[in-house]
Amino acid sequence: MTKKSLSHLQATIPGFERVVVGVKPDGVKRALVGEVLRRLEMLGLKMIAGKMLVPTIFQAKGNYPDITTSDGHEWMVNLGRKTLATYKETERDVVADHGTNNPEIIGRRVYDSLIEYLISGPMVIMVWEGHLAVSQARALAGATAPAGALPGTIRGDLSFDSQVLTSAQGRRSLRNVVHVSGAVDEALQEISLWFGTEAEFNDKYIRTDHAAMFGQI
């Protein structure tokens, strides 16, 4: 296990990145952990850390932008705007479901539901590494709302949830199976959040298909 020395991929592969992927409570309860791992491995990424836990409120909040900052507040309001846009597209009455059309109020409700969702049960949190790991894993996960995710993606194949359905069922959070870091810097922050600042990784092993994947044979 290593903390500071370079892994084999980090030392030899251009575009090396690490990404945090979490199987959310709905994915764990539906026994989809193995399927998510299978797809990430088929993609060519390498798992270097993983654990199961029930997130604390601190961890759940740390997984999203800090809404007490200006950037975090804007992110929260944008959650409300996205919800309003979905209602408009589907010609549903947002006021009937939410009692308001204020994006800040709706965004805060969405945020609260996200936190409640993450602490509702066990998650499997993993660190994966590889070439362009963040963008590759996000593409594999698919669109945030499963109803709009493409076939072949994790969310598109394994869920059908939407903002309209969540609002109609009591303003709950989307059941979208997985969480994936949004950017390389976010992945670094999430590694510290979930694994600690002195995280150790089993990153020295080499996949048996490494040479074929990276054009060395």
Q: What is the CATH number of the domain that holds 189?
A: 3.30.70.141
Q: Is 210 a catalytic residue?
A: no
Query: CA nearest 175: which of 25, 18, 16?
Result: 25
Q: Which of 8, 98, 179, 210 is catalytic?
A: 179
Q: Is the pLDDT of residue 3 over 60?
A: no
Q: Which of 14-23, 58-67, 167-176 has the lowest mean pLDDT?
A: 167-176
Which pLDDT does position 150 carry in this prediction? 97
Query: CA nearest 45: which of 127, 123, 158?
Result: 127
Which pLDDT does position 6 carry in this prediction? 58
Q: Does the residue 2 lie in any domain?
A: no
Residue 23: pLDDT band (50, 70, 90) is very high
Phi, psi of 46 (to 5 degrees): -120, 125
Q: Does the residue 142 lie in any domain?
A: yes
Q: Are 151 and 9 in contact (CB under 8 A)?
A: no
Phi, psi of 197 (to 5 degrees): -70, -20
More confident residue, 216 or 39: 39
Q: Does the residue 217 lie in any domain?
A: no
* Summary mean pLDDT of the chain: 91
Q: Does the residue 215 lie in any domain?
A: no
Q: Does the residue 213 lie in any domain?
A: no
Q: Is the pLDDT of residue 43 over 80?
A: yes
Q: Which of 96-107 are b and which e, b meaning 16 or more Cβ less than 10 Å from the residue's Cβ?
A: ebbeeeebeebb
- 94-114 mean pLDDT: 92
- 117-145 mean pLDDT: 96
The parent domain of residue 16 ranges over 8-205
- State how many domains the chain has: 1
Which pLDDT does position 167 carry in this prediction? 74
Which pLDDT does position 126 carry in this prediction? 98
Which pLDDT does position 217 carry in this prediction? 59
Q: Does the residue 211 lie in any domain?
A: no
- 121-145 mean pLDDT: 96
Q: Does the residue 216 lie in any domain?
A: no
Which pLDDT does position 180 carry in this prediction? 97
Instruction: State the CB neighbour count (10 A cutoff) for residue 65.
Output: 17
Grouping H, G, I as helix, E, B as strand and the rest as coil, residue 48 is strand
Q: Is the pLDDT of residue 4 over 70?
A: no
Q: Are 20 and 126 in contact (CB under 8 A)?
A: yes
- Distance in angstroms (rounded) separating the CA atoms of residues 9 and 2: 13
Looking at mean pLDDT, say which of 9-18, 83-92, 141-150 comes out highest. Answer: 141-150
Query: CA nearest 178: which of 124, 112, 214?
Result: 124
